[in-house]
Amino acid sequence: MYYLKTESSFDAAHFLAGYEGKCRNLHGHRWRVIVEIKGDALSNVEQTRGMLVDFSDIKNALKKECDLLDHSLIYEKGSLKEKTLEAMREENFNLNEVPFRPTAENFSKYFYEKLREKGFEVHRTEVYETPNNCAAYEEI
């Protein structure tokens, strides 16, 4: 089995609704995302001969997903009052609503699924919320 890894990052704010602690408040992170893909055969196509995939393909796919979240407020659907959202939209803030609590654990599955949808055979994703705290997702 062959494995390739690439990584990207984005800066974004979030908060954890219903959490009793510091993370219930709006705060930001430099999120670091690592994707590992796998495959048992290398390409025979001339351009990519001897490669699992072209690194630029997986790198660009991950970067596009990260860029969508970069410099935004990521919030869980239903966690903010409509009046709050209206005021933020009036200020032209970059808002990203997600259907899950925006934790590193949920983001690890989110990126796994996004890159699978793009046709990559994803083995594992890791999302670092801080340099020392990482969550990972892989299917068995």
Q: At which residue do the structure tokens 């919030």 appear? A: 75
Catalytic residues: 23, 71, 129
CA–CA separation, 105 and 128 (whole Å):
9
Query: 59: part of which helix (H) or strand (E)?
Result: helix 55-69
CB atoms within 10 A of CB 78: 9
